[in-house]
Amino acid sequence: MEWATASEAPRTSFVTVVAWIYIVLEGLAAFMLAMQNLLIDVIFPFDQLQEAMTRADGKMPMPPAFTWMFGHLRLVLGLCLAVALIKLAAAIGLLLRHNWARLLFIGVLAFSIAWSFAAIFLQQYMISSMMMMPAPPNAPKNFNEAIEGMMFGLRLVTAVFAIGFAGLYAWMIKKLVSPEIVAEFK
């Protein structure tokens, strides 16, 4: 009687390295976000934070985007924690060579590409609304010019990083859909 031997495709180091990098990064992100969610409730009680924001908004109105962000801080931090946990689960599944995890990981990378470019526009909106705020009363004369120069640099760096990470994520997707990598997954 002959035993059938399952011939598994060789495991590439690409999948293993990507999985471990994301396990470490998303594990740390999930821990930090869990701590931030905890701190919002324990150290900085949310109602006191809201009250301070209302007082500050009365003295110097904040842009609507910032007001919304602080008004929904629990939601924003909770969503960030959920995304980190999903990415962590996908990375662990990727390491274990589960096909569902490969597909989820590809979806996360595709979303990350879209988010990279959306973040450029979101940043533009946030910075534009911030630039409309009056300068502090004790600001130096060239305050606005200095801030505008800094904001230009920030926009440029953000765009370069967004394009760079989008390219990296696209390359990772291309590798994860290649026949050699697909053969590793069950």
Q: For the chain, what is the mean pLDDT?
A: 86
pTM of the model: 0.80
Which two tokens mark 2? 């002959």
Cα–Cα distance measured from residue 164 to residue 116, given in angstroms and rounded to the nearest whole number: 9
Please write the tens of the pLDDT for every residue from 70-97: 778 889 899 999 999 999 999 999 999 9
Tell how far CA 53 is from the center of its chain: 25
**How much of the chain, in percent, has pLDDT values that exceed 70?**
90
Cα–Cα distance measured from residue 21 to residue 4, given in angstroms and rounded to the nearest whole number: 35
3-state secondary structure of 176: helix
Angle at 29 between CA 175 and CA 182, to 5 degrees: 20
**pLDDT value, residue 35:** 93
Cα–Cα distance measured from residue 101 to residue 94, given in angstroms and rounded to the nearest whole number: 5
